[in-house]
Structure 1
Amino acid sequence: MTKKPTGIELFAGCGGLSTGFLDAGLHVAAGFELDARAVDAYNYNHDYRGSRGFIADLNLASGAELLERAGIMRADFVIGGPPCQPFSIAGKRQGKRDIRADLIGHFIRIVDELKPSAFMLENVPNLASIDSGEFLDDVKAELRALGYKVDHRVVLAADYGVPQNRKRLVVLGVKGKRTVRFPDATHGTAERPYLSSAEAIDDLPDAGEFGETGIFNHEPTMHSDDMIERLSALEPGKRERGSYHDRLHPERPSYTLRAGSGNFSPLRPVHYKHHRVITVRESARLQGFSDDFLWPDRIPRLQQYRQVGNAVPPPMAEAFARCLAEQMGWTLDKAGLAGDPSTRPPAHIYTDDERKALRTARLRGASLGKVALSAG
């Protein structure tokens, strides 16, 4: 049995799953993702830890090709979250009739080709209700036919120390075991309550240029005067009726952060104290990313928000990694996979003025409010 396993992440995005597994001490050799900007962020934040991101069309790539590109002979575990839009409550509810649902089929195909000892598939909770649950039943049946003990559960990220009420469906599979275990909750009790929004972001200064704050990815969003006036009257934990913005409550976990797709940019939560939507850095904090996880200037800010919203919260991923390692008898090497983030090239290549000009050029109407939109 492999004591120090190596795995890969499929549909990796910027690598939230990889981050959590590396933080736990399990080596993720590579992450595969079609979006070049997400791969850029993946490499900036994982290459120094021994994990490399690759652009790959997982509709076409074979398991053997993935191993070759990752530079490994075997994948002991496969993790990933195939795009969830076909199953999202906010989507069209097309389920397996949507061609994108085939990406889950390709996850199964790659598991079949690589024959890892364990896998983790993450998706939206609504996956369990598509076709009255038949689709998920079919997915689990196919995986069981490959020789895995399989189970699924809808989990709450806040249970694992993520300051966000984010529910996700996780399918776990292990070989050679009678049962498959899910990690116990670490938070949500009187002794260890859920982390609140304020506990995650209250130590940050108000949003500003890097030269003003020294905080990466913490630039403000421009709002119209009308929007600022409305947000200033919005109470914590409430929704602004005109724009549908939700305001964070400082004593509760955040609302679920959403990613959006295509030209759709979801409304971001409003800070509980400042009259603006939260920054990328605040979003990352609420998703459980450390401040060492940076998005370089070359990645547009809208993409940064989307990558945060698409990611699996690293603390949740870390809890699952530790649980799988315990079940499989794997040795964790947390210190050996920490890496040194200071060895990376600078994340900022623009001046504050250049970065501000780019934000203005890419201004999105939803942040300005209906009045500004009608005037424009």
Structure 2
Amino acid sequence: MLRGVDLFSGGGGSSWGAHLAGVTMVGAVDAWDIATRVYADNFPEAKVVNTRLTIDTGPEIFGRMKKIDILIGSPECTHHSVARGAAPRCEESRRSGWYMMPFIRGMRPRWIVLENVTGMRNWQGYDDLIQALRSEGYHLQIQSLDAADFGVPQNRRRLFIMGDRKRQPGKVIPPKVKLKTAASILDGPLRWHAGPAFTERRAEATVARINRGIEALGKGTDFLIVYYSTDKGGGWQPLNRPLRTLTTLDRFGLVRWVDGKPTLRMLQVPELMRAMGFKRDPETNRSFQLNHGSRRDQLRILGNGVCPPVMKTIIENLTAGDISLKAAA
């Protein structure tokens, strides 16, 4: 049995992927109390600590803990992200990757996985962090991976730093799966209330997004409008490709034609969970639960999360062929 700990765990997206790969998660840390309550629901065997990590925080926060095989973590990414545009960066947030080092040095796990936005490579401390991990004896594989390539109905590209103390990790090759589209996450037309797409109270920018989608696709074709968009996509996207990147904001509205007229509603939490790739555990028939916080809180948990199928594949790749893993199985 492999034992894992998750730092900056959020609600547990990474851990759910690790769990599906056969890892027993025994510890987690996050600064947000709602996220730790969600985590505790889904990993009742884990010691979950609600605290903000600093460079001085180490394994002692877990008390006495047996040997850890794998350490995963998603340090704060908002101040590496290009989505912030020209907004000032907080160096404390950028440095949060270093906050994993006391745990790495104290727990000495065989494997490590750090996840962040791809912009982390541009951080001036990135090379020093990579060198520090190598100095701790890790052979590293560093890749940028898109969740859509792993059967997740969302384009979500993230940087993964994968380490193994004993051998060079192989390159992660996405499984040969059919591309899943945004249409695959949608509930039926009667599941959620939708109102008329065009009303006097509808914001002009929203109306413009809807009109651009209709002009491009024609009447009668359902599509999504995308709020908080600064790209050249026109503020909408078709349903026949993966969802654009899910963020912590409520940004996706479904335009669905009913009786020849367009209706509009926001995508709901169960749909967005599908967009993140949360799947039922086939061995226990248990599903990931997201029962705490407001809708806004739940969107934040999902938007900050890691798609479980990606982490599952990464950990299976890291541990493949390991003698101790075979013996435990």
- Shorter-chain TM-score bucket reads 0.7 to 0.9
Q: Does 1:28 align with 2:25?
A: yes
Is 2:274 the partner of 1:285? yes
Amino acid across the alignment from 2:94: A
Relative distance call for 1:242 and 1:44 in structure 2 (3 A) is: closer
Q: Which residue of structure 2 aligns with residue 65 of structure 1?
A: 61
Q: CA deviation at 1:175?
A: 0.5
Amino acid aligned to 1:270: G
In structure 2, the CA distance between the partners of 1:168 and 1:110, relative to structure 1 (3 Å rule), is same
Closer, same or farther in 2 for the Cα pair 1:200/1:52, shift >3 Å? farther
- The equivalent of 1:360 in structure 2 is none
Residue pairs, 1:167-182, within 5 angstroms: 167-177=157-167, 179-182=168-171
Give the corresponding residue for 2:254: 271
Counterpart code for 1:310: N
What is the deviation of 1:42? 1.0
Give 3-state SS (helix, strand or coil) of 2:252's partner. coil
Cα distance in 1 for partners of 2:290, 2:21 equals 22
Change (3 A) 1:240 1:161: closer
Contact 2:4 2:27 in 1 (8 A): yes
The CA distance in 2 between the partners of 1:26 and 1:325, in whole Å, is 10
Unpaired runs of 5+ residues, structure 1, are: 209-219, 260-265, 337-376
Alignment of 1:1-150 (within 5 A): 4-47=1-44, 50-59=45-54, 60-66=56-62, 68=63, 72-91=65-84, 92=86, 98-131=91-124, 135-150=125-140
- Residue of structure 2 aligned with 1:206, choices 167, 183, 191: 191
Match of 1:195 among 180, 203, 206: 180
Q: Is 1:166 matched up with 2:156?
A: yes
Question: Could you tell me how far 1:183 is from its partner in structure 2?
Answer: 2.4
User: Which amino acid counterpart does residue 251 of structure 2 have in structure 1?
Assistant: R
Q: Give 1 or 2: higher strand fraction.
A: 2
CA distance 1:181–1:239, shift in 2 (3 Å) = same
Secondary structure of 1:152 counterpart: strand
Shift of 1:247: 3.5
Greater Cα offset, 316-325 or 31-40:
316-325
1: distance between equivalents of 2:11 and 2:144? 23
Alignment partner, residue 243 of structure 2? 254
Alpha-carbon separation, structure 2, partners of 1:201 and 1:299: 23
Is 2:297 the counterpart of 1:322?
Answer: no
TM-score, normalised to structure 1, is 0.71
1: CA distance between counterparts of 2:228 and 2:32? Answer: 35
- When the two chains are superposed, the root-mean-square deviation of aligned CA atoms in Å is 3.2
Deviation for aligned residue 1:182: 3.3
Does the CA-based 8 Å contact 1:25-1:332 persist in structure 2?
Answer: no
C-alpha distance after superposition, 1:157-191 (max 9, x if no partner): 111111101000000111011x212321124xxxx
- 1:340 — aligned with what? none
| Alignment size in residue pairs | 300
Evaluate the alpha carbon distance shift between residue 241 and residue 279 of structure 1 in structure 2; reply closer, same or farther with a 3 A threshold. closer
* One-letter amino acid matched to 1:167: R
Q: Distance in 1 between matches of 2:227 and 2:52?
A: 40
Contact 2:73–2:114 (CA under 8 A) maintained in structure 1: yes
Closer/same/farther in 2, CA of residues 100 and 250 from structure 1, 3 Å limit:
same
Output the CA distance in 1 between the equivalents of 2:92 and 2:229: 36
- Residue 41 of structure 1 deviates from its aligned partner by 1.0
Say whether the 8 Å CA contact 1:165–1:253 is kept in structure 2: yes
Q: Return the TM-score normalized by structure 2.
A: 0.81
- Structure 1 residues 204 and 173 mapped into 2: Cα distance closer, same or farther (>3 Å)? farther
Alpha-carbon contact 2:227-2:251 (below 8 Å) kept: no
Query: Cα offset for 1:252?
Result: 0.3
**SS of residue matched to 1:288:** coil
Cα separation, 2, equivalents of 1:222 and 1:39: 38
1:46 is displaced (CA, Å) by: 2.2
Secondary structure of the structure 1 residue equivalent to 2:253: coil
d(CA) in 2 for partners of 1:28, 1:239: 36
Residues 348-374 of structure 1 deviation map (CA, whole Å, 9 limit, x = unaligned) = xxxxxxxxxxxxxxxxxxxxxxxxxxx
